Amino acid sequence: MRKFDAIVIGSGQGGVPLAKKLAKAGWQTAIVEKRWIGGTCINDGCTPTKSMIACGAAAHVIANSQEWGITVSDFKVDLEKIVQRKNKVVESFRGGATKGMEKTEGLSIIYGEAVFTGEKTLKVALKDGGEEDITAPHIFINTGTLPKVPPVPGLDTVKYLTNTSIMELTKLPSHLVIMGSGYIGLEFGQLFRRLGSQVTIIDKGKQLLKYEDEDVAAAVKKVMETSGVTMHTGANIQKVEQIGDTIRLQLTANGENLAITGSHLLVAVGRTPQSTSLQPEKAGIALDDKGYFKVNDQLETNVPGIYVLGDVKGGPAFTHISYNDYLILYKRLVNKEDTSIKDRPVPYCMFTDPQLGRIGLTEKAAKEAGYDVKVACLDMTRVARAIETGNTQGFMKAVINSNDDKLLGVAILGPEGGEVMSVMQMAMLGGITAKQLREMIFAHPLYSESINNLFMTLEK
């Protein structure tokens, strides 16, 4: 039995920096990884998808170049080269993370799959053969999630894609059908439409992005439809079948019976935690009814000394939240600070074009929480920078507490929406009022300058 001060299972965006910092603090640390260093973000999520989305944006500009007075007679999309570019970026990020850990004194990288054998003991089936038993008083779980496969009749008989496998295609789908209209479905839908595929998105919810306000969701739907994506919401898929090289879906949507046939099917209905494969019951670790690890506000499970970071604990499934989990744990365990995940801000961004940047409460959630609110809205057609660049889709929205004039939440659906949202996030954290933002000096003509105009709408 090999003994450590700390064991980190999984090398995602929380696990890697935590393992390095613990080792640098003098803790003999092991990190166990069954696949590649970097977790979902670097290998299957943020890094590869945003690399490909950048290529889609280039194709969109070229295809619509006449809007800017430029005529491009013809162009060709080479998906194989797009994938090669994506892989190069991923390998660079992954290699950098791996080298950083290999250089860290006191940190052992163990490649293999771990399972609990007792409360603080693990057996690792090593990637290159054999097994190793390890133990530590502190264990950190950062194993993330996998694509969720819904119980749709016939789905197990067809060649469907996931968010990982779709990025390995080297030939464009003639008709990509997407099951699910969350961030993954919408981002891939717009991407492949811009690259030249026909795209149809099917979702059982009547509203896209169920956690957003209705006006925001409706505006996003309009963006997708303007991109040329066919949307079917309020749809119930009854059967999926493979017919030769095509996939046929039978569904009902808004009282209509429909049959949709596509060349490829992407299943993007959510994620499922990688928890049960660890055999947590052998360590006495509790899971919730969806298979996520139960943790308290200090990220500790019901077993003292065993902690969880990132998506596998449920809650907001974002890279930056996983990274913040690491900061909270390190400060608490090494610096002895009283840190907690309670009431932390949760900013996020959907990388459609235009982006949707979000922070804080929606209008609906604020009203349900009992706030007396006022709402400021500004269409992007009234934003100088948007007009100048020819990117006027979307709108800006801020929810303000009428009692103290401070921001409760913001939604920015527009070009560089995530960047503008981040400015507003800083304002929220600093307690800056709507009046102060209305009168603040911003450089002209930035997108952020339109924050002035957004809050001027409250005067009308």
Q: What is the dihedral of CA 216, 220, 225, 228, to 10 degrees?
A: 170
| Active-site residue, 60 included | no
How far, rounded to the nearest angstrom, does the alpha carbon of residue 300 sit from its chain's CA centroid? 23
Both tokens of residue 221? Answer: 């739907």
Give counts: helices (H), strands (E), the chain: 12, 22
Q: Which residues contact 216 (CB under 8 A, 6 or more apart)?
A: 209, 356, 362, 397, 411, 413
SS3 116: strand
Distance CA 434, CA 376 (A): 9
Q: Strands, DSSP E only, in 212-277? A: 230-232, 235-243, 246-253, 256-262, 264-267, 271-273
Q: What b-and-e string marks burial along 375-407, b requiring 16 or more CB atoms within 10 Å of the CB?
A: bbebebeebebbeeeebbbbbbbbbbbeeebbb
Cis peptide before 415 (omega within 30 of 0): no
What are 51's two structure tokens?
Answer: 């690399």
Place of tokens 């919401």: 233
Find the catalytic residue in 138, 232, 320, 444: 444
Q: Which residues are catalytic?
A: 444
